[in-house]
Amino acid sequence: MDFTLNQDQRELKAAARHYLSQSYPLTLIAELSDGVGADGQAWPELLRQGWLDPELELLELALLAEEGGRALHPVPWWVTVALALPVYQAAGLPLPGPATLADGSTGCQARQQATGWSLTGQVPSVSQAGSVTEIVLAASTPAGTALFAVEPDGAGVSLTERAGVDPLRITAGLRLVGAPARLLLDAPATGPVLAAIERRWQVLLACEAVGVADRVLELAVDYAKTRTQFGRPIGSFQAVAHQLADSYAAVELARSLAYRAACVLADEPDQAAEAIACAVHAGIRAAVSGCEVAMQVTGGLGVTWEYPLHRWYRRALSLQARAAAGPDPLEVIAGELFTPAAADRIEGALAPA
């Protein structure tokens, strides 16, 4: 057992934190959040920073996702790496730039014509569709669900932005009318890739949630050290300090589970369901309750628009909503614990008296 980050991993994390804190001060995050919702210029620099290096393994991506959550990284890196990248990798194609992925398997039909494939149909909500180079879409073909790429500003493609709880993760309704599409993966190859992506995004979501929880704890702790009431810093009141200690515990437990899920998914993907479920449940819980504790500690200021805390709370709530699109973590865990095999796990257990 040596369950700790190695030197390279620690350095990667520190470099990512440095880059993000230099590039995205809170003023810029607020400006983007209240404005266009994403930094459209950052992609080339992110490539130079190595955030899409092919040699990055899942644990390294997990660390970057965590740092991205801390900084509210306003670039469609997460959707690219968590959702779309595995499709291009499986297809042996280069990543065209930032990309997102949506499931149109029930609402979109693909038709093969002499000139190539075209897509028709709609998807109610595609994450960050307006900020990417390509949208990867699962669509139905006569042979089953296959994966295609369309360009957001291509012919026959229309996007309608939808207001969301997290303005840094804008989604759009997607409507396709005979839109030309590139086939990335055909029907037989698609199922396993989508299944693998579902496991992958859950792990990277848990990591991002840990980053959110970690940052809002830091915010609240800094505030509790300096804000005085009744003649002393509020962090010296047990009622305040103990809530923050509990938040710290929640963050550390969630971080351990997120790293563990990344390790298990990398090594034994088919055995990872329980580890992923633990990571998702603990990560979301730590992020949402961490923001709520931070709001309580920062009091009246914390619930204003001006104070940045709500931006992480919005991220936490949007992660919670995204997680709800996956399997229910607690039911996954219960399903594993209450199998017939579990009945025999304690050998020779006594019958009730």
What does the per-residue mask of binding to another protein show for 265-284, with x meaning CB under 8 A?
--x-------x-xx--xx--
- Alpha-carbon distance 101 to 145, whole Å? 14
| Binds another protein (CB under 8 A): choice among 154, 191, 233, 327 | 233
Q: What's the token pair of residue 288?
A: 């949402």
Q: How far is the CB of 269 from another protein (least distance, A)?
A: 14
Q: Is 238 in the site for another protein (CB under 8 A)?
A: yes
Beta bridge partners of residue 342, listed in sequence order = none
Beta bridge partners of residue 134, listed in sequence order = 99
Q: Using alpha carbons only, how large is the chain's radius of gyration in Å?
A: 22
Nearest to 65 by CA among 54, 55, 51: 51
Q: Is 241 in the site for another protein (CB under 8 A)?
A: yes
Q: State the Cα torsion 240-242-245-246 to the nearest 10°.
A: -110
Q: How far is the CB of 90 from another protein (least distance, A)?
A: 26
Q: Is the Cβ of residue 9 or residue 120 nearer to another protein in the bound state?
A: 9
Contacts of 262 (CB under 8 A, 6+ apart): 58, 59, 61, 62, 203, 207
Q: Is 210 in the site for another protein (CB under 8 A)?
A: no
Q: Is 324 in the site for another protein (CB under 8 A)?
A: no
- Alpha-carbon distance 79 to 171, whole Å? 11
Instruction: Count residues binding another protein (CB under 8 A).
Output: 58
Instruction: Count the alpha carbons within 13 Å of 240 in the hemisphere toward its beta carbon.
Output: 23
Residues in the chain: 353
Q: How far is the CB of 212 from another protein (least distance, A)?
A: 17
Binding segment toward another protein, per CB under 8 A, in 29-37, 68-76, 99-107, 254-262 = 254-262
Q: State the Cα torsion 16-17-20-26 to the nearest 10°.
A: 170
Strand segments (E) across 241-320: none
Q: Is the Cβ of residue 216 or residue 257 nearer to another protein in the bound state?
A: 257
Q: Is 289 in the site for another protein (CB under 8 A)?
A: no
Q: Is 231 in the site for another protein (CB under 8 A)?
A: no
Q: Is 342 in the site for another protein (CB under 8 A)?
A: yes
| Binds another protein (CB under 8 A): choice among 2, 55, 270, 306 | 2
Q: Is 224 in the site for another protein (CB under 8 A)?
A: yes
Binding segment toward another protein, per CB under 8 A, in 119-127, 143-151, 196-204, 251-259 = 251-259
Q: What's the token pair of residue 120?
A: 């028709």
Q: How far is the CB of 75 from another protein (least distance, A)?
A: 26
Site for another protein in 6-45 (CB under 8 A): 6, 9
Q: Is 227 in the site for another protein (CB under 8 A)?
A: no
- Alpha-carbon distance 27 to 308, whole Å? 9
- Alpha-carbon distance 344 to 94, whole Å? 49
Interface contacts to another protein, rule CB under 8 A: 1-6, 9, 59, 217, 221, 224-225, 232-233, 235-238, 241-242, 244-246, 248-249, 252-254, 256-257, 259-260, 263-264, 267, 275, 277-278, 281-282, 329-331, 333-334, 337-338, 342-343, 345-353
